[in-house]
Each structure stands twice: as structure tokens, then as C-alpha cells.
Amino acid sequence: MATIRDVAKLAGVSISTVSLALNETGKVNEDTYQRIWQAARDVGYVANPVAQSLKSGRSRLIGMIVGDISNPFFGKILQEVERYAIEKNHLVIVSESRADPERDLAILEQLSGQRVAGVILSPHGRGREYVERISSYRMPIVMLDHKVEGIDADFIGSDNVLASAMLTEHLIRWGHTRIAHIAGITGLWTAEQRMKGFYDTMAASGLPVDDSLVVRGEYDGDLSYTQAMRLLTRPDRPTAILAANNITALGVLQAINDLGLKCPADISLTCIDDVPWSNVISPRLTMAVQSIDEIARVASKWLLERISSRTPEAIAAREHIVDPRLLIGQSCAAPAQFSTKV
């Protein structure tokens, strides 16, 4: 590969002049500039970003850490982020924490080692130590999806309380009183918020919550399937289920099918999160949809903004909460007789 030295030789100038010229500093004569530019073209020169990184301490790489790469929600976000990044001449490194806080930290450490320009993190930990360790990095970090208290960084996510409140209310309107909630990962912000929205709305409607109907699905399809199986084979089974996210809902749907039940005739189902191609899933789910595009767009924008700022820390931490949209499907109906009378 051609180096700056080759260009200098061909143009008959020193390497520093080449650098000055190619970086458009305006400190070089127009004609020398032209000569250098021509020479660069001729030898096929393209700057070595590794050398630039070593010198500057920053690369044109940005990192993205998510819990589960294969979750389409993150796939979409990744896609948007990558498009935005490439436009700004950055490349993106993705890595997966598998919902493990230790892994969050370990990857962050590696990314920091690579001198990435910044990272978009969907954090899976909490507590003082976690917060401190994350805060110890000097690179710009934008937090996504899960909010962690105490971190002084930009955050972009959805109003999860509102999302499950909307859905719970929807179910209540249909006449359900015995509603189950298959929750997300214990301790995770989104999961807790969604649960809160559920409890709050039930309380506001004066409905009691049977705590045995609130179970952990951990945002995991298989576990949610098992939990749904348990719930649905109880003699006093719920008449409706609020699933914490798309993966959970699919597990539930699977359980419903396997038990030979009908949704919504036998059981109503709603969930938070968007399901890919939800319109071909039968029945079409009633859900609270997050605006993936908006989340991705704001996250990329804010990160790149900090990256290109000469004083990133001067920008106060921002927060962008996206309102979910209620999407009515065909997965809800009035409670079936035999279940309501329990």
C-alpha cells in the first residue's frame, strides 16, 4: 500500500507537506497542493487509519453493544446506526453481551482499547459499581433501551410504563380482570417499567392483581413458553396475557397453539415491542409499538455529534423518550365465559 512517503517522493515535497495538503489545512500553495493531490492519485494513496488512530488516540470506529444480536429489534437499530455511521465515514463494531453485565464491561474495555470514537450501549447491569465502571471511560457513550440510574450519559428509549399501561387498559376495556403478565429480565429497567405500568393501571382501575399471575419470562422465548404453559394449564387460568416483549409473545403464542387454545377466543394476548412482519403472524397482535427508526436515528445522531465535537463532555446528558403507539390487531376479545367466572 502506498504511504505518505511515496506521495511525497513523487510530488517532490516532504511528507509533512503532503499531510498538511491532504488534510486541507489551507497552509499549502495551490499549485503544490495540486501536485500532491495528483501524486496521491497516481500512487493510489489512501491514508492508513491505524496510523492515524495511534497518533490521535481515536479511531473512526464506533462500537455497539446489545444483549442479543439476533433480536430483530436490534437488527433494525444496528442497520440504521450503520447507515448513519458509514455516511459519516465511520465503521461499526457490534458485540453481544448476552444480557450479562460483566460482558458489557468486558466489551467496553475491548472497545476502549481499540480507541473507538464512541459506543452505543444497551446496558444490562445496574448498581454503583457498574455505573462507576461505565462512567470511567472517557469516550462518548450513548445508552439505549435500558435506562440505568446514575449514569451521566445520553439516553434514548421508549416510555415503557406508558406502553404496558396502554395495553393493560386495552385489556381492561375488553372486560378482562384476570390478567397475567409475563415479565422481562429481573432488575432490568425496561422490564421493571413495563411491570410498573401493568400494576399501576390495574390499581387505577381498582382491579386486584393476582401476584401468581405475574411471572418471569426473562425476555426469553423458551422460558416464556414454559411460563405460558404453566399459566394456561391452571384451573384458574387468566383470560388475558400481557407479554413483556415480542419474543415473549411468540413463546406464548406457541404455547396457546400447542394447547389447542384459540387466541383471542380462549385467551387474549398483547405485547410490547414490534414483531417483525407482525402482519403475517396469526392472529395479528395488538401491541405497543416502539418507533425503532426514531430510536436509532436519535442515538446515531447524538453519538456522532459528540464524536465530532471537540468538547464532548461539555454537552449535557440528554434524554429522548419515544412514545409507543398502540397497534390494534386481532389478538384481543372479551373474556371467555368459563374463565371469567373463576
Task: State which of residues 88, 115, 133, 230 lies at the interface with a second copy (CB under 8 A).
Answer: 115
Task: State which of residues 9, 10, 20, 213 lies at the interface with DNA (CB under 7 A).
Answer: 20
Q: Which does 82 bind (CB under 5 to 8 A by kind): DNA, a second copy, none?
A: a second copy
Q: Does 19 bind DNA (CB under 7 A)?
A: yes
Q: Does 17 bind DNA (CB under 7 A)?
A: yes
Cβ proximity to DNA: between 25 and 337 the closer is 25
Q: Which does 281 bind (CB under 5 to 8 A by kind): DNA, a second copy, none?
A: a second copy
What is the separation of C-alpha 156 from the centre of its chain, rounded to a whole number of angstroms? 9
Q: Does 82 bind a second copy (CB under 8 A)?
A: yes
Q: Which does 73 bind (CB under 5 to 8 A by kind): DNA, a second copy, none?
A: none
Q: Which does 59 bind (CB under 5 to 8 A by kind): DNA, a second copy, none?
A: a second copy
Secondary structure class of 240 (helix, strand, coil): strand
Q: Does 109 bind a second copy (CB under 8 A)?
A: yes
Q: How far is CA 207 from CA 21, 172, 254, in A?
A: 72, 9, 28
Cβ atoms of 242 and 199 closer than 8 Å: no
Q: Does 241 bind DNA (CB under 7 A)?
A: no
Identify which range of 112-120, 149-157, 161-169, 305-313 contacts a second copy by CB under 8 A. 112-120
Chain positions 2 to 61 lying near a second copy, rule: CB under 8 A, are 46-51, 53-54, 59, 61
Cβ atoms of 286 and 329 closer than 8 Å: yes
- Nine cell digits for residue 45: 494513496
Q: Which amino acid is at 198?
A: F
Q: Does 111 bind a second copy (CB under 8 A)?
A: yes
Q: Does 94 bind a second copy (CB under 8 A)?
A: yes
Integer Cα distance of 65 and 143 in angstroms: 10
Q: Does 16 bind DNA (CB under 7 A)?
A: yes
Number of residues that make up the chain: 342
Integer Cα distance of 32 and 16 in angstroms: 13
Provide the pairing of β-strand 286-289 with 325-327.
Answer: antiparallel
Give per-residue burial for 2-28: e unless 16+ CB within 10 Å, then b. Answer: ebbebbbebbebeeebbbbbbeeeeeb
CB atoms within 10 A of CB 65: 25
**Among the listed residues 213, 203, 222, the one whose alpha carbon sits nearest the alpha carbon of residue 181:** 213
Integer Cα distance of 302 and 295 in angstroms: 11
Task: State which of residues 34, 38, 48, 279 lies at the interface with DNA (CB under 7 A).
Answer: 48
CA torsion through residues 176, 180, 182, 187, sign? positive
Q: Site mask, a second copy, residues 241-280, x = CB under 8 A?
A: ---------x--xx--x------------------xx-xx
| Contacting residues toward a second copy, per CB under 8 A | 46-51, 53-54, 59, 61, 68-72, 75-76, 78-79, 82-83, 86, 91-96, 109-111, 113-115, 221, 250, 253-254, 257, 276-277, 279-282
| Contacting residues toward DNA, per CB under 7 A | 1, 3-5, 12-17, 19-20, 22-23, 27-29, 32-33, 45, 47-48, 51-52, 54-57
